[in-house]
Structure formats: structure tokens, C-alpha cells
Amino acid sequence: MGQYHQLLINVGEVVRHCKPGNFVAISVGGENSSLILRRAFAISRVSDRGEYGGTMELIVAPHGSGSRWLCAQEVGNSLDIIAPLGTPFGIPTAPVQALLVGGGYGSAPLFGLAEVLKSRGCRVDMILGASTVAKIYAPIEGKRSVNSLKIFTEDGSTGQMGKVTDLIPGLIADGQVDVIYSCGPMGMLSAISRITQGTDVVHQCAVEEAMACGVGICMTCVLPVRKEDGTISMLRSCIDGPVMDGALVAWELVGKNGMTP
């Protein structure tokens, strides 16, 4: 699958508790490894049908030592997994016009989300983007999952040349979007939040912040988020997220020195 690995894990009854936007924390490296901390991976989709019973799909880019170890596992190997974790996407109670925006392999959780939204009677449009064609995740599957799909690459190697955010202002102006669900690089999520600011469009984004423990103990994944009174709180992406209201994240402070929990 291009630069990504598709992992199918048998997790049994756990799938009944998994929702789009949840993630898993996996112990990597084996018993004698120096890789002490777990690695967090977004759940692409789950299924309780098929010969293996409850299965979970993960899309992994083998960049670091932990993800490379995971991608090297053979069929039948056992994994130490904590799942499901995190706050999932909010699903509307009535049909809406939903726009799903994904960057690179970060778009993987949007496919399972699309299935849930369509089952609720929503219109689902999707925009996928990346720097180049090799980093676009599952464009063929995307066409099957949604009502319409647009693809953008910054080098023009497939789809339209540009960024995923190029189309959004026009779609909002034409009244074609009620809610945006996004997964991808933090810069992309921030740009979408700026576009939706001052509109009636809700922006739910799955933040990409490095998580060490995945269960809210280590405080390494905190983000600055505005409260109703305007003050800033440092919230944990693994507990209060990864899905957050994009309008509340203080994007201008993300990654700035001096922002401590």
C-alpha cells in the first residue's frame, strides 16, 4: 500500500467498544527491547464480520524503530494492546452534510467514520491530500466510501495541484458543509479552523500530538485549549482528544515555548 502498511489485528469483542476517532497503544520491540513506552496508532476501522471474528485495521507508516518493528510482525504473532483509547468523533443525531478532510495516512480513520455517517443518512464528501501521489492513502477505497472524492497533491502528481484547504471556503460559501471532520498534520487542522472561524460550520479534528503513555499519565501530549471564559488550559490529547473542537484549540500557541501543563 505505497508507503504504508495495513495491519489486521484480531481483537474479538473489543470491536464493540471502538468508535471512529479512537486509537490504540501498542507495546513495541519485544520483551528484551529498550523501547519502553507504547506507541499510539489511530484505528482505521473495525469489523465484527468475517472468518476471524472481531478485527481491527491499523494503517502504519514504518518511520521509527517502533513502527518498523510492528510492521515486521508475522501472521499469528501476538501483540500487547490497550484499546480503545481517546475521545472519538461526535456523530450527528440527524442527517447532515459532512466533509471529511484527510492529509496523508492520517486520513485512515476517516474511512470508518464515512461508513458510520452514511448509515445515519448523511451526505459524505471527502478531500484527500498529500505532498505527492505516493503519500495519498487508499484513493480507490475513498471513492467507494463517500458520495464524492477530491484529491490534491502539492506537486500535482495526481488529482489537482494544491492543498486540501483550497476547496473548503467555496463549499462553505455555497452551503454544502454543516460539519468538517479532519485528520492529518497539525498545520492542516489549524488552517481548516481558520477557514471555519466565524461560520456555522462545526470542525471536529483528530489532533496529531505525540503520545507516550496513551492513558493520561505522562502529560507529554498536552495542547492549549480555550475554555468558555477565554482562559487557556493544557489538555491531554490522549484523554480529552484526540478528537477536539477545532474552534477551541489555541492554534497560535501550539508548540510555543512556555506552554507547560
pLDDT tens-digit map of 39-75 = 889 999 899 876 777 999 998 888 888 889 999 999 9
Terminus-to-terminus CA distance in the chain, angstroms?
Answer: 38
Q: Is 111 among the domain residues?
A: no
Q: Is 27 among the domain residues?
A: yes
Whether residue 128 has pLDDT greater than 50? yes
Q: Which three cell numbers stand for residue 14?
A: 473489543
Q: Is 226 among the domain residues?
A: no
Specify the pLDDT at position 118. 94
Q: Is 198 among the domain residues?
A: no
Q: Is 178 among the domain residues?
A: no
Specify the pLDDT at position 240. 93
Specify the pLDDT at position 144. 75
Indicate the number of domains in the chain: 1
Specify the pLDDT at position 33. 75
Least confident of 17-21, 51-55, 96-100: 51-55
Specify the pLDDT at position 212. 76
Q: Which three cell numbers stand for residue 252?
A: 497560535
Say which residue, 100 or 228, is predicted with more confidence: 100
Specify which of 19-23, 135-139, 141-145 reaches the highest per-range mean pLDDT: 19-23
Specify the pLDDT at position 139. 64
Q: Is 171 among the domain residues?
A: no
Confidence of residue 142 (pLDDT cuts 50, 70, 90): low
Q: Is 45 among the domain residues?
A: yes
3-state helix, strand, coil in the chain (%, to 5): 25, 30, 45
Q: 26 is in which domain, residue-wise? A: 5-85
Residue type, 140: I
CB burial string 163-178: b at 16+ within 10 A, e below: bbbebbeebbeeeebb
CATH number of the domain at 42, please.
Answer: 2.40.30.10
Say which residue, 110 or 50, is predicted with more confidence: 110
